[in-house]
Amino acid sequence: METFEPWSPARAEQIIAPHLSREGALLPILSALQETFGCVPREAVALVAHALNVSRAEVHGVVTFYHDFREAPHGRRVVKLCRAESCQAMGAETAARFLLAALGLPTDAPWGGTTPDGAVTVEAVYCLGLCAVSPAALVDGEPLGRLDGMALAEAVGA
């Protein structure tokens, strides 16, 4: 299991500083912050914006645009469920709702999330390239196909 440092503005500034002379420093800075803290904390957005002389909105836009950046640390296990057309046509929605319910996550709120105990994070992705074995998911980076809700829950240990 990954362990992350607790948020510290001073530590964030140490992470940001070596990247400032780089062309296109924003993505490397955000990646380094996430690698250290497990996410890009909201407090970091203002620090990064100030350091790069860009708006906070621009930094926030990049954090929220790229699916791999997160504003809160992910769970010990990460499930990425395909939400593309092929998987939807083959029952991904039913499997997803089953898994979310099994994990105690809302099935009607903004999609996905992390269990309260931090055990599992469920994320939506839009095409894993596994259309031939729809519905598909990545569980801790391992591709799984032809899933139904029960198989998905078993793969996650829910």
How buried is residue 44: exposed, middle or buried, by Cβ count under 10 Å (0-12/13-18/19+)? buried
Are residue 96 and residue 130 in the same domain, yes or no? yes
- 104: three-class secondary structure by DSSP: coil
Are residue 84 and residue 149 in the same domain, yes or no? yes
Q: How many domains does the chain have?
A: 2
**Residue 70 maps to a domain:** no
Q: Residue 148 gets which letter from DSSP?
A: -
Are residue 30 and residue 101 in the same domain, yes or no? no
Q: Which domain holds residue 115?
A: 77-156
Are residue 121 and residue 91 in the same domain, yes or no? yes
User: Which tens digit of pLDDT belongs to each residue from 51-91?
Assistant: 999 999 999 999 999 878 988 888 889 999 999 999 999 99
Are residue 91 and residue 131 in the same domain, yes or no? yes
pTM above 0.85, yes or no: no
Kindly report whether the peptide bond that precedes residue 135 is cis, defined as omega within 30 degrees of 0: yes
User: Which tens digit of pLDDT belongs to each residue from 88-132?
Assistant: 999 999 999 999 999 988 877 667 788 989 899 999 898 999 999
